[in-house]
Amino acid sequence: MSGRETAARIADLRRRLDDASHRYHVLDDPDIPDAEYDAMLRELDELEAAHPEFADPNSPTQRVGFAASGRFEPVAHAVPMLSLANAFTDEEVADFVARIEKETGDAAPRFSAEPKLDGLAISLRYEGGAFVRGATRGDGATGEDVSANLRTIKSIPLKLRGAAPEVLEVRGEVYMPRAGFEQYNARARELGDKPLANPRNGAAGSLRQLDSRITAQRPLAFYAYALGEVSGALPATHSEVLRWLRGLGFAVSPLVDVVEGTDGLLAYYRNVGAQRDELPYDIDGVVYKLDRFDQQRAMGFVSRAPRWAIAHKFPAQEAATTVESIEVNVGRTGAVTPWVLMAPVHVGGVNVTRATLHNADQVARLDVRKGDTIIVRRAGDVIPEVVRVIGERRPLDASGQPLHAPYQLPTHCPDCGSAVEREAGEVVARCTGGLVCPAQRKQALIHFASRRAIDIEGLGERFVDALVEFGYVHGIADLYRLTVEDLVEMKQRSDEAAGVVPETVKAGKVATRWAENLVAAIDASRSTTLERLLFALGIRDVGESTAKVLARHFGALAPLMAADEEALKDVPDVGPVVAARIAHFFAEPHNREAIAALQAAGMHWSEGAPQRAADGPLAGKTVVLTGGLAAMSRDEAGARLEALGAKVSGSVSRKTSLVVAGEAAGSKLAKARELGLEIWDEAALLAFLAAYA
């Protein structure tokens, strides 16, 4: 190959790789398979190694990073990177808008609204359309040159697409997607490395690595949201600038919107807040910017913040409190989970008094002790977790030693006294008591009655606790022997034990309607399906998807109960570990007795369910549903897809053929994008189903 041909081939490979990377990491619309991308990248790397005269710091091959640089050079920002004033209440937002209305004379000002990502602010400088330098915010006037690290982030364009100004400085946020954060930490734990504390710290720490090869291994992404120094004319509004930046190849948040007045801002805040826990990245509020640049100039700045923009913060998701005690909870599979009882603290919009510690390894890693000051985190309705201990606040005795010894997980179950054991290779320790243990019995009953299992409406945790504690229920079949009189008596005993006037006694007579409804709901649940029964039995590692596969593979309960491990390993998606657990469950006499007792109590289930359509349009394909659907429930959508031959799974992997993403789809959608999977929205799903109706 001549020098000219080599140069042309290198240029073509770079162009094609840049385009593929842009489609994958920015547009979420990949157009070539990973293998083809890898082959082109390998060819380009070999050509560049053989022809160093064609080296280019912005080549796709340079995203792997370089050896340690020694230190970061200071970078003076041509245009200061200012901070924003904060608003925490609706009234403060209204005051912000009123001030703008008064000073601009605009009775209906328009604002560009966007999520406030919880990452690290970055400035990117391009000259002649090529990336030349990237810097951290620093103190706003001077930051640090982290160009080598930023080059490894695939959603940051190294060459701009289309016509660009000679000088263009783009500001935005480097962040770590939640899915990438979880995957990174899972790998770190497997390798015995230290996991990252949270996505924001992970992003900040990744950009301050002196060895950019380490940064290249971190799952980082970038969203553009503002400009710094620019040569040449600009659009008239901020929202138009964001559209322009998209055209140049930058990722911009899809949640950006233009709204009008206070009502528009607050509606946007609440809409994004409702989606917060389902987003594939962390946010801590939203940002409002006056959309017209002429109005921004008229408003000007105060101190180091613009008067035309404000950050409307969400309630704090992390807070400090103190540990009052460390307790354990025993789950339905015997898992012994440590948790802290703590001084009440307001976090994530609610008051909380307890937080999970997950397992003994987590307790040891954090070294949480009674009396410690801890940081707790809460996301949505998820149980708060302990993030870290503030070591300098640990209480000490007179000799300067810690007042309390390190916490040790109990060796015997606090509920039944059975031994607590931890299998080799297991993270979780478990009570060995089985259904002898009241805690496991309660949790087994709650799971059995849950909506996606047998679905006994009205049988919640409070009633289950009382039924077990007062001896009305010893096993799941006992539910079907309960009478209205049993339930009323149980409720009265429960109220008396709590020292309150029995709620069941009203106006001098006993209220029984609730008990009649519960007995009717229990009676209605006697008829179910095999897959629901298998899920309800609480077999370890048998979730809804696996229960469905087992029901369809065996068709009836008897052959499944008779199957050995080898036969179970022939079931699609059932590996050796799960096969062993299923076989062990059905080999246990007390489990067989429990199933026989259910049958004796009149419970029955449909068997012989048909296999998926072997010749359907989705035969052999695995589909994952995520997010909310407007036209139908996810269960209904799953059933219709299965009727067309699909296997509907609850998790995304490289084996997934298709992901259907509804409203507020979260981490599963993010993972699908990372893997380059085919993704449908609800409209595409409905069109497909209509074609085969």
Residue positions annotated with a catalytic role: 116
* C-alpha–C-alpha distance, residues 117 and 282, integer Å: 6
Q: How far apart are the first and last CA of the chain?
A: 56
Contact assessment for residue 160 and residue 172, using Cβ atoms and an 8 Å cutoff: no
Helix extents (H) in 570-665: 576-587, 589-600, 634-643
* C-alpha–C-alpha distance, residues 329 and 350, integer Å: 22
Buried b (16+ CB within 10 A) or exposed e, 600-627: eeebebeeeeeebeeebebeebbbbbbb
* C-alpha–C-alpha distance, residues 658 and 670, integer Å: 13
**Burial (0-12, 13-18, 19+ Cβ within 10 Å), 50:** exposed
Residues whose CB is less than 8 angstroms from the CB of residue 690 and which lie 6 or more positions away in sequence, other chains included: none
Contact assessment for residue 305 and residue 83, using Cβ atoms and an 8 Å cutoff: yes
* C-alpha–C-alpha distance, residues 400 and 2, integer Å: 76
Tokens 């005269």 -> residue: 53
Contact assessment for residue 420 and residue 360, using Cβ atoms and an 8 Å cutoff: no
Q: Tell me how far the alpha carbon of residue 486 is from its chain's centroid.
A: 43
Helix (H) or strand (E) holding 448: helix 438-449
Indicate the length of the chain as a whole number: 693
Helix extents (H) in 53-177: 90-104, 147-150
CB-side neighbour CA atoms (13 Å) of 511: 11
What residues are paired with 338 via a beta bridge?
328
Q: In 3-state terms, what secondary structure has residue 279?
A: coil
Q: In 3-state terms, what secondary structure has residue 224?
A: strand
Residues whose CB is less than 8 angstroms from the CB of residue 361 and which lie 6 or more positions away in sequence, other chains included: 427
Q: Considering only CA atoms, give the Rg of the chain.
A: 30
Say which amino acid occupies 125. R
* C-alpha–C-alpha distance, residues 415 and 412, integer Å: 9
Say which amino acid occupies 552. R
Contact assessment for residue 177 and residue 251, using Cβ atoms and an 8 Å cutoff: no
* C-alpha–C-alpha distance, residues 35 and 41, integer Å: 10
Residues whose CB is less than 8 angstroms from the CB of residue 402 and which lie 6 or more positions away in sequence, other chains included: 369, 394, 395, 396
